[in-house]
Structure 1
Amino acid sequence: MSDAAAPRMRAAVLSGPGQLRLEEVARPEPGPGQVRLRLEGCGVCASNLTPWAGPEWMQFPTQPGDLGHEGWGVVDAVGEGVEGLAPGDRVAALSFRSYAEYDLAEADAVVRLPDSLAGQPFPGEPLGCAMNIFRRSGIEAGQTVAIVGIGFLGAILCRLATDAGARVIAVSRRPFSLEVARQFGAAETIPMEDHNGIIACVKELTEGRFCDVVIEAVGKQWPLDLAAELCKERGRLIVAGYHQDGPRQVNMWLWNWRGLDVINAHERDPKVYLAGIRDAVEAVASGRLDPSPLYTHRFPLDRLGEALDATRDRPDGFLKALVTVR
């Protein structure tokens, strides 16, 4: 079948900095070991914002559907050699062109969603990321944990750490996000306004000991500096923020003096990503974790540009944008 005669789909194409259009393109066909997803939606990741801004290294136009990597939907076709998955299975997937009506995924990069999650959005990649960061953090009952930056990720980590028996101190810029932190279990909240004031507050709350674990979940220089200051001697600093806008400087004197363990919580092994998504499926399906209040903004595919702008500008009440396809 010629490309012109192939079934079509709509897909988003970034045509320039801050510019986006929908195109009708050929619907992809799964190759050996692949499945095709009829997408229901895709989460919008903050990592999309640098390409959206159009840095010098970015090449336009993008491939149809590019940058979307938080998709979920229904398997509607399987390639040769695929076992254990069939058309009709509802899944979350690690795929990379999910700002579209259909996407392809390797069969071993797909996690089936149980019937109990029917009708619920499930952006698997960020949910799995949160589970993996929590695992890497090594949080235990009785510890004091500071989380610097309460967005989608920070809120989930508040819930996971609290449920593990830790006392959580949430630090964030927006009053709305601090209220969300309280709803997700934070025992204390501190506005992210004054550097020295935050340090003094945490020192008082911990009777001078500071925190066993501090998770930096912003991805900027100042929150990283602040997070190190909130760690106790022999504490653990978890870098969960995505630092994509340039090099960072660190206070190595402080890190050395306090003997900090510093953990980059970003995974790169697809098998570990999948394990995190499976953990997230179990947590949500069992009721241990309810991320639904965090999906604050929804946009149809043809308004993806607005979703990206909202992710960048973070209007009041914003935590996570979803692009819905159906």
Structure 2
Amino acid sequence: MSSRNWRSRRAPFALALGGVALFLTACSGSSGSPSTGSAAGKDLPKTLVFSPLSLAPPALKGLSEGVKHYAGDKKWEVIVQDPNFDASKQTQQLNEVLSSGRAGAAWVIAVAPKSMGPILKTAQSKGIPILVNGRPDEYGFSGPQPGITFDYIDYAAGGKALGEQLGKCVTEKLGGTGKVLFAASTEGSAGKKEFDTAALDALKAAAPGATVVQTVIAKDRTQSQTDIGAALQGKPDLAAVMAANDEGALGALGAFAAAKKNLTCVTDFGGNDEVLASVKDGKIYASVALQFQADMAQSFDTLVKMQGDPKANGEVLIVPQKVVTAGS
């Protein structure tokens, strides 16, 4: 599973949330009766409701444990819900807990952002700060809203960094020229159009002599390896791969190894543990790694801050990204 699309129901859960694994532990949060904190004229419990897409994917199960651990260290209780990819179930679960008086804040990885309107209005009416994945426009807003924080991945920035890094590799190791395969994300994936455009434009700018001669869709690692292997048969002189997710990068390594061919340049967007180990070993030139540990901390800390004034406009957060190379 790729670490890039965990905030979108539309993406295949190829997201093993690579970066998340760096900090997730099996620790649980604090238990017992929630304590309270002062907030804009009333007390809100120090209880966070965490509603991910589902707890079935190991990555999201691990993320829920990480949230409980981080919040528990700060003396917060965490209520974890499991809508199991069902938008109606998610809104029902959230409505029940928001109406119960138990919730002091909510963090929602929405199954369907368009279904969240009533939940957002309920949270606002009750003065309960809420954080949702995605940009304001995905929820029908033009900017920050009272009591609501938005948190999203900047796909244009990620694509630009991915293309720039492959261009650097082509310049350094291939003399500025070479045939490139683009392992793209599936249609409907979050931010696909802006990501792909930014990546291809950045590669062209960084290495004008590089040519993208084939594109495959990287759904999962096995399929990616099969499709890239097939591409190699028709284009045996492929020398570089630009992968929009971890599955594409790891599948490319497998395909080239199986064909006993050298893969000089490969760059990745996502940055799971295996990818980062391959970067360290020099098999992958660079990974544009999403920093989910930092995002978890900024998300929770923002909700804590919002309890002080739940009626004030929330923030628009961006998931941090970091270019990781063998030397970094």
Determine which structure has the larger helix proportion and give its number. Answer: 2
The higher-RCO structure (CA 8 Å, 6+ apart) is 2
TM-score between both structures, scaled by the size of structure 2: 0.37
Larger fraction in strand: 1
TM-score normalised by structure 1 residue count? 0.37
